[in-house]
């Protein structure tokens, strides 16, 4: 009698599995695994044989299976508001350069500046069992905190400098940077300042800059209340905010735009309207994008280590995964880049 028939194997594709490689190399599957993951633990000759078999078969290990078995995945979740903002693109480049060198892949999520969307992404990324998570900012939905805590996954928060990060942090003080800009404007002789900043809702980087601006206004005894406008980053919005401020507050003599795109848009509008910069109006930006140095007049701004935020975050994660000792908070420096747009003849 025939043996009771097994059910059909549900092996997916016709892909090469570790077993075939093992057979070809004349070793056991576990040896293939070791030859690929911890080569120092296998004899040179067997390693060579295994690699040859891998080459011949075109074997690509199934990391889903590997990660499940080892409880370690080679992925890192990265959540940014949007890749469209080039400051985050630079961060991602920094992350990618370091992580891909260590064999890690990036799982990317875009929150669209919404903490609620961020929380959904955290859940979705945690489901992939990432080795680590890199978030933007220090403000998160309550459930985000809960999920992160429960998961135990290493987390790096970036772009800010909160006193008590969830886990690790790489950033700078947005507040101090904004304060320094106002300080610079005052030193350049401007007195009636205005601020244009990204919508602060769900955005603690923008909020920090707003607060730094306000503190500096009070500190230096400048015109209060200073006009403040919220504008999502785009050249057009910068131009419009400029026009609006000059209409409502014609005595304004300098505007601090909390990012360079807004500032550049304003500078272009100044050119169209023949508003003299820096004579009639001083303009300062934030981020030190390439356009700040190239635009005419060149733009005073704050250089922040965008790429380094990414690369350092990646390094911290890798160190942690290596059980190396690391600090938890890295506070990077910003630099005021003084350029023509605030270089007033006095």
Residues within the interface to DNA (CB under 7 A):
6-13, 15, 17-19, 26-34, 36-37, 41-43, 45-46, 59, 61-62, 65-66, 68-72
Instruction: Please choose which of DNA, its own copies, none residue 142 contacts, taking the beta carbon within 5 to 8 angstroms, the exact cut-off set by kind.
Output: none
Alpha helices (H) along the chain: 18-25, 29-37, 44-57, 63-70, 86-101, 115-126, 142-151, 174-187, 204-219, 235-248, 260-273, 290-294, 306-321
In terms of CB distance, is 92 or 283 closer to its own copies? 92
> What are the φ and ψ backbone dihedral angles of 303, each rounded to 5 degrees?
-80, 125
300: helix, coil or strand?
strand
CB of 100 to its own copies, least distance (A): 7
> Between the CA of residue 207 and those of 182, 185, 201, 324, 335, what are the distances in Å?
16, 20, 8, 34, 20
CB of 33 to DNA, least distance (A): 3
Packed helices 18-25 and 44-57: angle between N→C axes, nearest 10 degrees: 130
**Does residue 145 contact residue 115 with C-beta atoms inside 8 Å?**
no
In terms of CB distance, is 66 or 189 closer to its own copies? 66
- Residues contacting 220, CB < 8 A, separation 6+: 182, 183, 186
Quickly tell me which residue has 């995964």 as its tokens. Answer: 321
CB of 56 to its own copies, least distance (A): 13
CB of 198 to its own copies, least distance (A): 16
CB of 105 to DNA, least distance (A): 15
258: helix, coil or strand?
coil
Q: How far apart are CA 280 and CA 275, in angstroms?
A: 7
Q: Which residues in 220-242 are b (16+ Cβ under 10 Å) and which e?
A: eebeeebbbbbbebebebbbbbb
CB of 136 to DNA, least distance (A): 28
Instruction: Please choose which of its own copies, DNA, none residue 123 contacts, taking the beta carbon within 5 to 8 angstroms, the exact cut-off set by kind.
Output: its own copies
Instruction: Please choose which of its own copies, DNA, none residue 288 contacts, taking the beta carbon within 5 to 8 angstroms, the exact cut-off set by kind.
Output: none
User: What are the structure tokens assigned to 246, written together?
Assistant: 């000059």
In terms of CB distance, is 110 or 180 closer to its own copies? 110
Q: How far apart are CA 130 and CA 128, in angstroms?
A: 6
CB of 259 to its own copies, least distance (A): 14
Instruction: Please choose which of its own copies, DNA, none residue 126 contacts, taking the beta carbon within 5 to 8 angstroms, the exact cut-off set by kind.
Output: its own copies
Instruction: Please choose which of its own copies, DNA, none residue 151 contacts, taking the beta carbon within 5 to 8 angstroms, the exact cut-off set by kind.
Output: its own copies
CB of 42 to its own copies, least distance (A): 20
In terms of CB distance, is 18 or 231 closer to DNA? 18
Instruction: Please choose which of DNA, its own copies, none residue 272 contacts, taking the beta carbon within 5 to 8 angstroms, the exact cut-off set by kind.
Output: its own copies
In terms of CB distance, is 27 or 99 closer to DNA? 27
Q: Length of the chain in residues, anyone?
A: 346
Q: Which residues bind its own copies (CB under 8 A)?
A: 10, 12-15, 58, 60-65, 67-68, 71, 73, 75, 78, 82-84, 86, 89-90, 92-93, 96, 100, 103, 105-110, 121, 123-129, 146-147, 150-152, 234-236, 239, 264-265, 268, 271-272, 290-291, 293-296
In terms of CB distance, is 126 or 303 closer to its own copies? 126
Instruction: Please choose which of its own copies, DNA, none residue 27 contacts, taking the beta carbon within 5 to 8 angstroms, the exact cut-off set by kind.
Output: DNA
Q: How far apart are CA 96 and CA 321, in angstroms?
A: 17
Q: How far apart are CA 102 and CA 37, in angstroms?
A: 12
In terms of CB distance, is 88 or 286 closer to its own copies? 88
């Amino acid at each position: 009698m025939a043996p009771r028939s097994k059910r059909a194997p549900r092996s997916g594709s016709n892909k090469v599995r570790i077993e075939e490689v093992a057979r070809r190399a004349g070793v056991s599957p576990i040896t293939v695994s070791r030859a690929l993951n911890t080569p120092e633990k296998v004899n040179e000759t067997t390693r060579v044989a295994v690699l040859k078999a891998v080459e011949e078969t075109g074997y690509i290990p199934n990391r889903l299976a590997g990660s499940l078995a080892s409880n370690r995945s080679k992925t890192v979740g990265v959540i940014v508001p949007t890749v469209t903002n080039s400051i985050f693109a630079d961060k991602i480049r920094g992350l990618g350069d370091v992580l891909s060198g260590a064999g890690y892949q990036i799982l990317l999520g875009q929150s669209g500046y919404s903490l609620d969307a961020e929380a959904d992404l955290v859940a979705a990324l945690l489901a992939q069992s990432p080795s680590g998570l890199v978030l933007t900012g220090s403000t998160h939905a309550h459930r985000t905190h809960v999920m992160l805590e429960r998961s135990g996954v290493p987390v790096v928060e970036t772009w800010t400098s909160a006193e008590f990060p969830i886990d690790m942090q790489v950033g700078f003080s947005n507040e101090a940077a904004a304060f320094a800009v106002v300080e610079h404007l005052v030193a350049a002789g401007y007195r009636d300042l205005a601020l244009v900043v990204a919508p602060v809702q769900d955005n603690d980087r923008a909020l920090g800059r707003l607060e730094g601006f306000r503190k500096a206004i009070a500190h230096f005894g400048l015109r209060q209340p200073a006009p403040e406008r919220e504008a999502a980053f785009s050249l057009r919005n910068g131009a419009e905010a400029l026009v609006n401020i000059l209409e409502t507050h014609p005595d304004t003599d300098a505007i601090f735009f909390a990012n360079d795109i807004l500032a550049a848009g304003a500078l272009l509008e100044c050119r169209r309207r023949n508003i003299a910069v820096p004579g009639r109006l001083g303009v300062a930006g934030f981020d030190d994008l390439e356009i700040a140095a190239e635009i005419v007049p060149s733009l005073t701004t704050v250089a922040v280590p965008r790429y380094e935020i990414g690369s350092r975050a990646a390094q911290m994660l890798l160190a942690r995964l290596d059980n190396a000792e690391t600090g938890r908070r890295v506070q990077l420096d910003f630099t005021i880049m003084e350029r023509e747009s605030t270089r007033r003849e006095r």
